[in-house]
Structure 1
Amino acid sequence: MEKRDMYLEKINAQIDQYNAKLAVMRGKSKEVHADMKLEYLNQVEKLESKRDDLKEKYEQLRKSSESSWKDIKEGTENAWNDLKESFDKVTMHFK
């Protein structure tokens, strides 16, 4: 398998994992104390937006030509790292 295909599979798998994590977080919103619920849901929405950004970058990368692939890859990695860092922060904040 090509390096590019492996990279795309890796990102797609990460998107699937984040989708599952977000679904769990949405479900847990019922358990969050009332005074924290609005902040919690706001953070979940921000994470969903960042996930959507990553999905968009993934689609651009998937459709890109060989010559533009490396440039788009950098933006995809930035979106991926931003989502990961944001997830880590939100998870730590609401433990």
Structure 2
Amino acid sequence: MPEVYDFLARDPANGRVYRVQVKTMHFREDRRSLVVYARKGNGEPYTKDEVDYIIGIDNDRAFMFECEGQKEYWSTEQTVSRRWIQLQVN
């Protein structure tokens, strides 16, 4: 049976393995916010039992945050660096 996450990542500091799902991040002009739609193919959200972290990618930026079982995750440009972890993209 296929897994719902995209890949596994190991933290080199503690050796723990995390399940990660990657999604496209969009900018919603009407709300002036970044949004990541975190739904499976059936429309249901990823649960904490299925995925540990979600990574939202938009062109040359990537942000990681904990899966909370929501269908959508939102942040403004002003709060994104406080709410989500920005990943280095080469």
Q: TM-score, normalised by structure 2?
A: 0.23
Q: Relative contact order, CA 8 A, sep 6+: which one is greater?
A: 1
Higher strand proportion, which one? 2
Q: TM-score, normalised by structure 1?
A: 0.22
Higher helix proportion, which one? 1
